[in-house]
Amino acid sequence: MANTQQLWFLGPQSVETRQVNCPEPDADMVRVRTHCSAVSAGTEMLVYRGELPQDLALDAVLDNMQESPTYPLQYGYASVGTIDAVGANIALELLGKRVFGFAPHASHFLCAPAGLIPIPDEVAFEDAAFLANMETAVNLAQDGQALIGESLLVLGQGVVGLLLTGLLARFPLSKLVCVDGIQARRERAQALGASAVFAPQQAGAIAAALGEQGADLIFELSGAPQALNLAIDLSGYGSRIIIGSWYGSKSAAIALGGKAHRNRLQISTSQVSSIAPALSARWTKARRFDVAWEMLMALQPSQWVDSRCHIGDAATLYKKIHKTPESVTQALFTYQ
């Protein structure tokens, strides 16, 4: 039996770390000792701020997130570590294997082997912690279906936005324009290969960079519902807008009566829990994860980790992200 530290959300802007006993795994389970877990400054902050919709499960497919968001609750979905105990029916060869798990923040967790993803030898733990967000970025790129020579606009350069920018920079595009309100994120986007970067208030300069036809394809990843109006303003006739943000319980008035109507815009949502119907005949989650690992090795996003925090100091970290989001690109909880 292991002495385990777990993070619990008690209510809006209230968290605590609990010490509990993590039992030995049942016959068909394994126990993972967590090396680190990635903090989502997007979705996770909805939990911290009490902005989750009450009529929706925490996740569409993950078994440990099928309940409605009622406090107190555990959350997190990007843990990496080593299998340190196995059940009676599990091969001993799994002991010591490095794995990724969609598990809440905790120093140890129990899981069936089928719920874990082996980490390739070439991938460091801190890069592996980006797997969930990289899968999201790959899914966004597939949903967008960018064409050669197109002009693309990415609104929001948080971690998912940066990962997507890194992927799209490998495409033979005409333009890749990125927008974010935080200068450090704009600089990272530029380094990844964006052709131009702007702050949201520079709408005129963004429009000039895109040209008279506007953007062919726009990704809205800012987490701010009002950014949809900026996406509409920067679109052209027949432009496609992919909404990758999860706004939670937030809503905003969207101007659909003007350009959105006359420009015959295609506005669609993207969500990583499933494979797009148009791709499902040939793509599986496993195939998409293979691509995600390949892209993690190419981009090595652990370079963006600018905050490492012991799980016991979680309250301080969440308060920092809440009050000064510009100070953190990617935070990791550590457990040693």
pLDDT category, 58, cuts 50, 70, 90?
Answer: low
Torsion of CA 214, 220, 221, 223, to 10 degrees: 130
- Partners of 111 in the beta sheet? 30
pLDDT at 61: 52
- Final residue of a domain: which of 229, 252, 269? 269
Compute CA 203 distance to the chain's CA centroid, rounded to the nearest angstrom: 26
> From CA 313, how far away is CA 166, in angstroms rounded?
31
Summarised one tens digit per residue, pLDDT across range 98-111 is 999 999 999 999 99
User: Residue 321: in which H helix or E strand, if any?
Assistant: helix 314-323
Q: Is the domain of 184 the same as that of 252? A: yes
Radius of gyration of the chain (CA): 20
105 within domain boundaries = yes
Placement of tokens 């990758």 in the chain: 244
27 within domain boundaries = yes
Please report, for the domain that includes residue 38, its CATH number. 3.90.180.10
Kindly tell me if the per-residue pLDDT of 303 is higher than 60. Answer: yes
Q: Is the domain of 138 the same as that of 262? A: yes
Q: Distances in Å between the alpha carbon of 17 and those of 36, 78, 105, 145, 176?
A: 15, 18, 10, 43, 42
- Number of folded domains that form the chain: 2
User: Residue 306: in which H helix or E strand, if any?
Assistant: strand 305-310
Read off the amino acid at residue 240.
Answer: R
Please report, for the domain that includes residue 149, its CATH number. 3.40.50.720
Torsion of CA 208, 253, 251, 244, to 10 degrees: -30
Q: Is the domain of 103 the same as that of 34? A: yes
Mean pLDDT of all residues in 185-212: 96
Q: Is the domain of 20 the same as that of 59? A: yes
pLDDT at 224: 84
pLDDT category, 66, cuts 50, 70, 90?
Answer: very low
> From CA 1, how far away is CA 23, in angstroms rounded?
5
Q: Is the domain of 38 the same as that of 139? A: no
278 within domain boundaries = no
Q: Is the domain of 245 the same as that of 330? A: no
Min mean pLDDT across 88-92, 207-211, 256-260 is at 256-260
pLDDT at 246: 84
Please calculate the CA angle 197-144-63 and round it to the nearest 5 degrees.
110
Q: Is the domain of 36 the same as that of 155? A: no
How crowded is residue 91: how many other Cβ atoms within 10 Å of its Cβ? 9
Kindly tell me if the per-residue pLDDT of 1 is higher than 70. Answer: no
Kindly tell me if the per-residue pLDDT of 290 is higher than 80. Answer: yes
Summarised one tens digit per residue, pLDDT across range 212-222 is 999 999 999 99
Summarised one tens digit per residue, pLDDT across range 18-46 is 999 888 999 999 999 999 999 998 889 99
pTM assigned to the model: 0.93
Q: Is the domain of 102 the same as that of 194? A: no
178 within domain boundaries = yes
Q: Is the domain of 115 the same as that of 140? A: no
The more confidently predicted of residues 59 and 327 is: 327
Please answer whether residues 135 and 289 qualify as being in contact, where contact means their C-beta atoms are separated by less than 8 angstroms. yes
Q: Is the domain of 261 the same as that of 139? A: yes
282 within domain boundaries = no
286 within domain boundaries = no
* Residue 31 lies in domain: 2-119+300-334
Burial class (CB in 10 A: 0-12, 13-18, 19+), 146: buried
Please calculate the CA angle 258-196-266 and round it to the nearest 5 degrees.
30
Give the chain's count of helices (H) and strands (E): 10, 15
- Final residue of a domain: which of 228, 251, 269? 269
Please answer whether residues 188 and 205 qualify as being in contact, where contact means their C-beta atoms are separated by less than 8 angstroms. no
Tokens at residue 307, please?
């905050």
Any alpha helices (H) in the chain, and if so which ranges?
43-49, 125-128, 131-144, 159-168, 183-192, 203-210, 227-233, 259-262, 285-299, 314-323
Q: Is the domain of 137 the same as that of 113? A: no
40 within domain boundaries = yes
Write phi, then psi, for 209 (nearest 5 degrees). Answer: -65, -35
206 within domain boundaries = yes
Q: Is the domain of 164 the same as that of 247? A: yes
